[in-house]
Amino acid sequence: MLDAPRGIIAPHLGKGPRAGLCTDCGVSRMKDDRACGRACQFIAPDYEAAEVRIHGRSADPDRGEEAFFGVTHAMYRARLSRPAQGAQWTGITTALAESLLRSGAIDAVITVAPDPNDIWRPVPVLVTEPEALAQCRGMRMGFAPSVALLEQAQERGFKRLAFIGIPCQTYALRALEHQFGFARLYVIGTPCSDNTTTARFHAFLALLDGAPEQISYLEFRADYTVELRFLDGRKPRFIPFMKLPISQLPADFFPLTCKTCVDYTNRLADITVGYMGGDGAQWLLVRNARGAEMLAGIMDHMTVEPLTDKGNRKAAVAGFLANTERAAGGLPLRRMPEWLRPVVAFLQPLIGPRGLEFARARVEMKAIETILHLRRSHPAKIKNMVPTHIWRLAAKYGLTPDRSEIVRKDRAP
Ligand SMILES: Cc1cc2nc3c(=O)[nH]c(=O)nc-3n(C[C@H](O)[C@H](O)[C@H](O)COP(=O)(O)OP(=O)(O)OC[C@H]3O[C@@H](n4cnc5c(N)ncnc54)[C@H](O)[C@@H]3O)c2cc1C
Ligand code: SF4
Ligand code: SF4
């Protein structure tokens, strides 16, 4: 057990990740590590069956935005009226869990906290005091074996839990939750894309600023900039996406897991809290009654605004597909001539998609990326690993499965 503040339990977790496509979600560190076979997003995920089990039905591509974002009962553009100190956006994610602990609905929350020696490294923790969640706020880059804490929670006699996690963790959690027999399990998900190891992320920070150890916050914002905040009191910096030093990153900077991920929006969470569709605010997708119950607990502390939907993504997504097909390492920005970057950086926030259209664009790009990278690196995995919702998103851009890439006829889009 690591030294941890009051209300936070940080158990030592043995074993390690698996070789191959693995984000160290925690299953391989459990007593029965063979469970990876049925719990892994990278082997043979069955999202439709899981959606029926968890949400009562699978996503309906003809209903609202479900073709893009999965089962959705309600969608909001929102912020906490008083943003929480240290939060990634305004802190809705941790506020949901805090409210559950405060009301006594749960005994503990499984989430991650910063490593005491490296604020960017996520460490899985069990949180039992609502105040302690303040220490977990903010986004860290890296992989945390949080799902392994299901065993720790069970051993400690916790019966009612909340889990905060990224999509590959949520998939594994949902596959295994029934075997633990918890009385209640609330799942708060965030979207996730372009994750990498914490060590690699430090190398990226060093390219962005002369004093990378002073960077305390980084976010890819919906206005096409990356925001940096600093420990030394400097004013935040906003770097346009187009001016990021992507060309200086090694081709394998983003691991293959995250280039072939099949769930951007955390489709199996009870509620997803992101920013992509929020146009500067947070973006909430309530997926079932449990998600609505959680949100009701903090509604009095939120400001809700109308969703926005601007621009047209089609040309941007088609351009991304062409670039990704061309780029050997899958870093399409590499091919942009230097002189063009400032022009595009200026134009992008003005003419680029915003709000829901931005979120649709990102989800389609990720689906395209998944298929192209798997075709290049693991073609034999495609038929079991790529779910219908990914093929459906990519089909609009002419990317369709051949006979060897689908398991059954009914998996075609
Ligand atoms: C690697 C990564 C990539 C992301 N990419 C996108 C994206 O492309 N689009 C989008 O809309 N949203 C993305 N998100 C989510 C987004 O950054 C915000 O975390 C989310 O919108 C919640 O903001 P908040 O203020 O409510 O969170 P807070 O209240 O600050 O809480 C954040 C929660 O996330 C947990 N967390 C932090 N880092 C990790 C990690 N590495 N693994 C697991 N849990 C973690 C924290 O422990 C905490 O519980 C990403 C998150 C991560 C971790
Ligand atoms: S289930 Fe988790 S630990 Fe197992 S292989 Fe998949 S990502 Fe890795
Ligand atoms: S991008 Fe996908 S595979 Fe990578 S950490 Fe995020 S959810 Fe997991």
Tell which of 266, 285, 307 closes a domain. Answer: 307
- Domain membership flag for residue 100: yes
Distance from the alpha carbon of residue 207 to the mean position of ligand 2, in angstroms: 31
- Domain membership flag for residue 124: yes
Distance from the alpha carbon of residue 191 to the mean position of ligand 1, in angstroms: 7
Sheet holding 160-165, edge to edge: 8-9, 118-127, 108-115, 160-165, 184-189, 271-274, 282-286, 74-80, 302-305
DSSP 33-66: GGGHHHH-TTT---HHHHHHHHHSS---TTSTTH
Distance from the alpha carbon of residue 76 to the mean position of ligand 1, in angstroms: 17
CA 330 centroid distance within chain: 20
The pLDDT tens digits for 22-79 are 999 999 999 998 999 999 999 999 999 999 999 999 999 999 999 999 999 999 999 9
My answer on whether 212 and 273 are in the same domain is: no
pLDDT of 329 > 60? The answer is no
pLDDT at 3: 57
My answer on whether 219 and 165 are in the same domain is: no
The pLDDT tens digits for 209-232 are 999 999 999 998 878 889 999 999
The candidate with the shortest Cα–Cα distance to 113, out of 7, 196, 230, 255, is 7
Question: Which numbered ligand comes closest to the C-alpha of 44?
Answer: 2
My answer on whether 79 and 103 are in the same domain is: yes
My answer on whether 148 and 50 are in the same domain is: yes
Full residue range of the structural domain in which residue 410 is found: 310-413
- Domain membership flag for residue 3: no
Least confident of 128-142, 262-276, 340-354: 340-354
The number of distinct structural domains making up the chain is 3
My answer on whether 31 and 141 are in the same domain is: yes
- Domain membership flag for residue 1: no
Q: Tell the residue nearest (CA) to atom 3 of ligand 3.
A: 258
pLDDT at 244: 85
Distance from the alpha carbon of residue 143 to the mean position of ligand 3, in angstroms: 9
- Domain membership flag for residue 2: no
Residue in this structure with the two tokens 């099949």, named with its chain if needed: 262
| CA distances (Å), origin 105, targets 23, 94, 293, 300 | 30, 15, 11, 18
My answer on whether 238 and 298 are in the same domain is: no
pLDDT of 286 > 70? The answer is yes
My answer on whether 299 and 227 are in the same domain is: no
pLDDT at 71: 98
pLDDT at 273: 98
For residue 235, count other CB atoms closer than 10 A to its CB.
8
My answer on whether 19 and 107 are in the same domain is: yes
C-beta of 167 in contact with ligand 1 (< 6 A):
no
C-beta of 265 in contact with ligand 2 (< 6 A):
no
The answer to whether the beta carbons of residues 27 and 35 sit under 8 Å apart is yes
My answer on whether 298 and 413 are in the same domain is: no
My answer on whether 299 and 316 are in the same domain is: no
Length of the chain: 413
| CA distances (Å), origin 10, targets 6, 123, 135, 161 | 11, 7, 13, 16
Q: The tokens of 55 are what?
A: 């949400």
C-beta of 195 in contact with ligand 3 (< 6 A):
yes
Q: How confident is residue 336, by pLDDT bands cut at 50, 70 and 90?
A: low
The pLDDT tens digits for 227-272 are 999 999 999 999 988 788 877 888 788 899 999 999 999 999 999 9
pLDDT of 310 > 80? The answer is yes
- Domain membership flag for residue 207: yes
C-beta of 370 in contact with ligand 3 (< 6 A):
no
My answer on whether 277 and 340 are in the same domain is: no
The candidate with the shortest Cα–Cα distance to 78, out of 218, 357, 312, 272, is 272
What's the pTM?
Answer: 0.94
My answer on whether 70 and 90 are in the same domain is: yes
